[in-house]
Structure 1
Amino acid sequence: MSIEKDLEKRSNGVCELCGSNEDLKAYQVNLNDDGLDGSVLLCGVCNSNVDSPKEIDMNHWRCLSDSMWNENQIVQILAYRTLKQLNDPWANELLDMMYLDDEAKAIAEAGIVSEDDSEVKKDANGNILVEGDSVTIIKDLEVKGAGFTAKRGTVVKGIGLGDVAGHIEGKVNGTKIYLKTCFLKKV
């Protein structure tokens, strides 16, 4: 019996991440540096995007809220790696709920594909922010330590991405501050 037939039987003929039955193929999951592998059955969309999950619609990966509880530990490890790479608030919440024993978590962490560039920062509408963009504040924000409130509707020009996750740098009222990206809209 071929590996794909075994996987099809184990998964009841559906993608082990999203549940689709379209274009199913075996996907090799590298479990450690010794070359130990495990396989999962993935649909064409998951198979071509699991190594770089941010390149497709984020909503596709919401299926991981189910697959992270799969009884097969290889599927759990792949779900963990994918959620970790997404680095989105909802994905991080799922990671907080997910349980992997210490050995499985170490394997999952070791296999995460790291990106050379920094975190992709997005505004409240999901638009990607880049250095030099202009944004509008969508909620009155009290600026701690500066003694003023950044008012809704204020345009912040020439933002900097900085290195604080989920924040950008910008000048408001002549003061350089960090602003949470979830309270901003790209102009």
Structure 2
Amino acid sequence: MTTAIPNCPQCDSEYTYEDGGLYICPMCAYEWTNDTLEAAAEQAVIRDANGNPLQDGDTVSVIRDLKIKGSSQMIKQGTKVKNI
């Protein structure tokens, strides 16, 4: 009973191999463990100012003025943003 070796998280190459406790990608030379993948998945959760996790379709209020990149305009504090 063998477990499938995961694709590389950086370049998505299928040619990864296991060396001891590490997975190694020969295409981009990236090395990782299962623990680092789990930690990265936990960090990927986006939270609001109160620490609640946000999901697609949530409605939020902006808590401070945000500059829009490439524009002189801003999103003002208190603006309600729907369906993020």
TM-score (norm 2): 0.52
Structure 2 unmatched ranges of 5 or more: 1-19, 22-30
1:124 aligns with 2:49: yes
Aligned to 1:139: 64
CA distance in 2, matches of 1:141, 1:122: 17
Structure 1 unmatched ranges of 5 or more: 1-31, 34-105, 160-187
CA distance in 2, matches of 1:114, 1:141: 32
CA distance in 2, matches of 1:132, 1:122: 14
- Residues matched between the structures, number: 54
Please list the CA deviations of residues 113-159 of structure 1 after superposition, one character each: whole Å capped at 9, or x if unmatched.
535x6821101110110000001000011112132110000000000
Aligned to 1:114: 37
CA shift, 1:111, in A, is 4.0
1:153 aligns with 2:78: yes
Flag the structure with higher helix content: 1
State the identity %.
42
TM-score (norm 1): 0.25
Higher relative contact order (CA 8 A, sep 6+): 2
Counterparts of 1:81-100 in structure 2 under 5 Å?
none
